[in-house]
């Protein structure tokens, strides 16, 4: 698969603060990547460096296999950073025309993209009259003007009301459905879980996890069980080879697994040991729990 | 190049304040012609400025470029704010992300500066020709086109001054502070000049030898004040026993120094932009 962006051992220092430590990342065409991390973990710094606005301290990155200079490559990239930045005294359309000039493309896509984000009827309004949600949607339209190879979004729903968040997510999903590669930085976990296929977890500038979203949330599932005789239930459970440990919380027995175990197999095993369950739920650990687990250390 | 220019002109032209200032500048420039209509009577003496010889070729080249250069402050405000705005709107960051390189960014500003300077120069050139042909006592071609170096000096002066403004805009990031800095710099140069002149090197030409390398001093050396050169004033001076031996021509060294400063300002602007995290 074609590599769009590769980052190798990137470091960034702000004075004595090490903002990024040996971050490496490979972005392949067609995937949707999420960068997760608490505030100040280095997400925006990473994106800032590859977008030519923050200087790296050391390390390498290359766009499209290093065939293009960074600023040429950025013409084929659509990016939105935290706050939508446009000229307040220009209208939406004028702002997009300016972006076209910078990217060296003609104006033919402007109407199409404004329609995509639902701003075509406001194209002659000055940018300064827009609400934050509209500004953010205009930023998305601007990022899509050149039908980019990759769309980079840094906290795209930050500060929006629930309606705005929903609109932005819908647009992102539409774009992802068309096969555009997306790199999404966020601290909102469900956002990443819903749209991303790959995830990178950062904390204090270091990578804690890098891989598939399923990989992070599927490896450890657990059961919630309840039976009349809790003591014998635990006793029997501990004899099962696939079970790592058991724990009692709120009158329920939590069962953590070493290896894969289906609910029906567990039920059958317990029944054959003369235990009838009154409650059986298999839970996947959510990305949120995994994330908290990862970033706690 | 055309692309960079069109990007920058769109940014300036669509901004109401910049548009008004630019237009004001050119309108005020054409008001220089109004000096011609100044006339008053003192008793029986009928006095008209236009008849005092200020519109005589080749003196008019000197006079008009000097007066026009005073108005450059209007465009300086436009240039400083077009740079400072990029910071405050966050559009500098966005421009770079959209695929403009830092070099292109500086270049687009500089090309605009050159265009502004060029327009002003052409404007002043045409206006001077018209004024001269209307009022000058001499209109022979050979006289009309002597001392054209003032026009060149005017152009160099504007480019140099605007580059300084651009540099300040990038350095300070806020238009008001950048203009304040410009004022402070003027004062610093004046004080240094005073100290050098009266304290350290009270005699000889060492002081002016040093001060000619200061950026603003070099720019003002390009076109010296034209008033004491007027024959009327000269003759008053001679009557009072002041011999005026001032050289009013455009010193080549000043042109060179200002061009050097222009390059230095551009280079420094680029360096700042390159090393700054946005």
Q: Which residues pair with A250 in a beta bridge?
A: none
| Distance of alpha carbon B32 from alpha carbon B41, whole angstroms | 21
CATH number, domain of A235, equals 3.30.70
φ/ψ of residue A10, rounded to 5: -75, 135
Q: What is the pTM of this model?
A: 0.84
CA nearest to A78 within chain B: B98
**A258 and chain B in contact, CB less than 8 A:** no
Number of domains in chain A: 2
Give domain status of residue B24, yes or no: no
Out of A163, A182, A217, a domain closes at A217
Counting beta carbons within 10 angstroms of the beta carbon of residue B273, is it exposed (0 to 12), middle (13 to 18) or buried (19 or more)? middle
Q: Looking at the structure, do residues A227 and A185 belong to the same domain, yes or no?
A: no
Phi/psi zone of residue A16: left (φ > 0), alpha (ψ -120 to 50 degrees), beta?
A: alpha
Which runs of E-coded beta strand occur in A72-141?
A: 77-80
Give domain status of residue B27, yes or no: no
Per residue in A91-106, pLDDT (tens digit) is: 999 999 999 999 999 9
CA nearest to B8 within chain A: A98
Q: Which residues pair with A58 in a beta bridge?
A: A11
Q: Looking at the structure, do residues A23 and A160 belong to the same domain, yes or no?
A: yes
**A128 and chain B in contact, CB less than 8 A:** no
CATH number, domain of A27, equals 3.40.50.300
H-run or E-run covering A293: helix A287-296
Show residues of chain B in contact with A56, CB under 8 Å. Answer: none
Q: Looking at the structure, do residues A32 and A62 belong to the same domain, yes or no?
A: yes
Contact B100 A86 (CB under 8 A): no
Show residues of chain A in contact with B101, CB under 8 Å. Answer: 52, 69-71
Show residues of chain B in contact with A53, CB under 8 Å. Answer: 93, 96-97, 277-278
* Contact of B142 with B58, CB cutoff 8 Å: no
Contact A90 B14 (CB under 8 A): yes
H-run or E-run covering B99: none
Mean pLDDT of A20-35: 88
Pick from A81, A88, A102: which is nearest to B95 by CB? A102
The residues, ordered by sequence, that sit 6+ positions from B204 with a Cβ below 8 Å of its Cβ are none
Which 8-state DSSP code applies to residue B199?
I
Which has more pLDDT, A231 or A288? A231
Q: Looking at the structure, do residues A239 and A195 belong to the same domain, yes or no?
A: no
Show residues of chain A in contact with B272, CB under 8 Å. Answer: none
Structure tokens at B251: 């010193």
Pick from B15, B102, B277: which is nearest to A89 by CB? B15
User: Beta-carbon neighbour count of residue B98 at 10 Å?
Assistant: 26
Q: Looking at the structure, do residues A44 and A179 belong to the same domain, yes or no?
A: yes
Show residues of chain B in contact with A79, CB under 8 Å. Answer: 97
Show residues of chain A in contact with B275, CB under 8 Å. Answer: 55
> Of A159-168, A184-193, A257-266, which one has max mean pLDDT?
A159-168
ipTM surpassing 0.90: no
Show residues of chain A in contact with B14, CB under 8 Å. Answer: 87, 89-90, 94
Q: Looking at the structure, do residues A183 and A273 belong to the same domain, yes or no?
A: no
Q: Looking at the structure, do residues A94 and A203 belong to the same domain, yes or no?
A: yes
The residues, ordered by sequence, that sit 6+ positions from A283 with a Cβ below 8 Å of its Cβ are A221, A222, A223, A224
Buried b (16+ CB within 10 A) or exposed e, B131-147: bbeebbeeeeeeebeeb
**B91 and chain A in contact, CB less than 8 A:** yes
| Distance of alpha carbon B188 from alpha carbon B197, whole angstroms | 14
pLDDT of B148: 87
Q: Looking at the structure, do residues A225 and A183 belong to the same domain, yes or no?
A: no
At residue A86, does pLDDT exceed 90? yes
Contact A102 B10 (CB under 8 A): no
Least confident of A179-183, A205-209, B44-48, B175-179: B44-48
Q: Looking at the structure, do residues A212 and A239 belong to the same domain, yes or no?
A: no
Chain B nearest-CA distance from A131, in A, is 16
**A81 and chain B in contact, CB less than 8 A:** yes
> Of A6-10, A284-288, B183-187, which one has max mean pLDDT?
B183-187
How would you list the strands of the sheet with A252-257, edge to edge? A243-249, A252-257, A221-227, A277-284
Contact A77 B90 (CB under 8 A): no
A-B contacts (CB, under 8 Å): 82
φ/ψ of residue A8, rounded to 5: -135, 115
Give domain status of residue B264, yes or no: yes
Give domain status of residue B44, yes or no: no
Which 8-state DSSP code applies to residue B251?
P
Per residue in B134-177, pLDDT (tens digit) is: 888 787 888 888 888 899 999 999 999 999 999 999 999 998 99
φ/ψ of residue B244, rounded to 5: -100, 110
* Domain housing A273: 219-296
Coil, strand or helix at A208? strand
At residue B103, does pLDDT exceed 70? yes
* Contact of A102 with B7, CB cutoff 8 Å: yes
Show residues of chain B in contact with A75, CB under 8 Å. Answer: 98-99
Out of A155, A184, A217, a domain closes at A217
Per residue in B239-251, pLDDT (tens digit) is: 777 666 677 888 8
At residue A121, does pLDDT exceed 70? yes
Number of domains in chain B: 1
Q: Which residues pair with A33 in a beta bridge?
A: A183, A198
Give domain status of residue B210, yes or no: yes
Q: Looking at the structure, do residues A175 and A200 belong to the same domain, yes or no?
A: yes
User: Beta-carbon neighbour count of residue A249 at 10 Å?
Assistant: 8
Q: Looking at the structure, do residues A172 and A210 belong to the same domain, yes or no?
A: yes
**A107 and chain B in contact, CB less than 8 A:** no
Contact A53 B98 (CB under 8 A): no
At residue B9, does pLDDT exceed 70? yes
At residue B106, does pLDDT exceed 90? yes
CA nearest to A89 within chain B: B15
Coil, strand or helix at B265? helix
B16: pLDDT confidence band, cut at 50, 70 and 90?
very high
Chain B nearest-CA distance from A55, in A, is 6
pLDDT of B155: 96
pLDDT of B243: 65
* Contact of B249 with B149, CB cutoff 8 Å: yes
Could you give the percent of chain A with pLDDT greater than 90? Answer: 26
Structure tokens at A148: 């980019």
Contact B99 A75 (CB under 8 A): yes
Which 8-state DSSP code applies to residue A126?
B
Give domain status of residue B237, yes or no: yes
Contact B93 A53 (CB under 8 A): yes
At residue A270, does pLDDT exceed 90? no
At residue A283, does pLDDT exceed 70? yes
Least confident of A249-258, A288-297, B184-193: A288-297
* Domain housing B65: 2-9+52-275
CA nearest to A100 within chain B: B98
Out of A199, A217, A235, a domain closes at A217
Q: Looking at the structure, do residues A19 and A67 belong to the same domain, yes or no?
A: yes
pLDDT of A218: 53
Mean pLDDT of A12-27: 89
Q: What is the dihedral of CA A108, A111, A117, A123, to 10 degrees?
A: 130
């Amino acid at each position: 698969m074609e590599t769009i962006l590769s980052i190798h051992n990137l470091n960034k220092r702000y004075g004595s603060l090490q903002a990024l430590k040996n971050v490496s990342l490979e972005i392949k065409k067609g995937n949707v990547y999420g960068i997760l991390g608490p505030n100040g973990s280095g997400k925006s710094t990473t994106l800032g460096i590859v977008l030519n606005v923050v200087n790296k301290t050391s390390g390498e990155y290359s766009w499209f296999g290093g065939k293009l200079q960074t600023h040429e490559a950025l013409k084929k990239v659509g990016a939105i950073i935290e706050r939508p930045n446009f000229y307040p005294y220009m209208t939406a359309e004028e702002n997009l025309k300016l972006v076209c000039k910078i990217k060296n493309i003609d104006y033919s896509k402007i109407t199409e993209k404004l329609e995509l984000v639902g701003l075509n009827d406001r194209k002659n309004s000055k940018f300064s009259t827009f609400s934050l949600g509209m500004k953010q949607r205009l930023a998305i339209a601007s990022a899509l003007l050149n039908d980019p190879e990759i769309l980079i979004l840094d906290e795209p729903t930050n500060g929006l009301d629930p309606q705005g968040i929903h609109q932005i997510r819908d647009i992102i999903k539409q774009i992802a459905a068309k096969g555009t590669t997306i790199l999404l930085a966020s601290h909102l976990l469900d956002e990443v879980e819903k749209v991303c296929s790959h995830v990178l977890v950062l904390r204090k500038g270091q990578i804690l996890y890098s891989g598939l979203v399923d990989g992070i949330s599927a490896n450890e599932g657990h059961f919630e069980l309840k039976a009349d005789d809790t003591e014998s239930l635990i006793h029997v459970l501990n004899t099962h080879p696939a079970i790592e440990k058991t724990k009692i919380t709120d009158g329920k027995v939590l069962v953590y697994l070493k290896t894969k175990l289906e609910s029906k197999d567990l039920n059958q095993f317990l029944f054959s040991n003369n235990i009838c369950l009154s409650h059986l739920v298999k839970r996947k650990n959510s990305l949120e729990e995994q994330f908290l687990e990862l970033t706690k250390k | 190049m055309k692309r960079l220019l069109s990007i920058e002109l769109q940014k300036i032209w669509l901004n109401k304040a910049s548009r008004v200032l630019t237009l004001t500048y050119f309108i005020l420039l054409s008001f220089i012609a109004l000096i011609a209509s100044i006339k008053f009577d003192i008793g029986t003496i009928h006095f008209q400025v236009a008849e005092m010889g200020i519109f005589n070729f080749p003196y008019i080249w000197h006079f008009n470029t000097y007066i026009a250069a005073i108005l450059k402050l209007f465009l300086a405000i436009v240039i400083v704010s077009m740079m400072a705005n990029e910071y405050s709107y966050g559009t500098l960051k966005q421009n770079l992300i959209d695929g403009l390189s830092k070099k292109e960014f500086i270049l687009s500003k500089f090309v605009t500066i050159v265009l502004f300077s060029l327009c002003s120069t052409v404007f002043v050139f045409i206006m001077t020709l018209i004024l001269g042909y209307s009022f000058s006592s001499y209109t022979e071609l050979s006289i009309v086109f002597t001392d054209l170096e003032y026009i060149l000096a005017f152009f160099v002066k504007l480019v140099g001054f605007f580059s300084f403004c651009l540099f300040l805009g990038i350095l300070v990031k806020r238009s008001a502070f950048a203009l304040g800095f410009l004022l402070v710099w003027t004062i610093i140069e004046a004080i240094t000049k005073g100290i050098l002149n009266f304290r350290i090197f009270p005699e000889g030409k060492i002081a002016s030898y040093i001060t000619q390398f200061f950026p603003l001093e070099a720019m003002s050396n390009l076109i010296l004040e034209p008033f004491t050169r007027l024959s009327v004033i000269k003759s008053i001076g001679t009557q009072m026993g002041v011999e005026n031996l001032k050289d009013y021509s455009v010193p080549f060294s000043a042109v060179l120094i200002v061009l050097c400063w222009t390059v230095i300002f551009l280079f420094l602007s680029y360096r700042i932009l390159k090393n700054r995290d946005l």
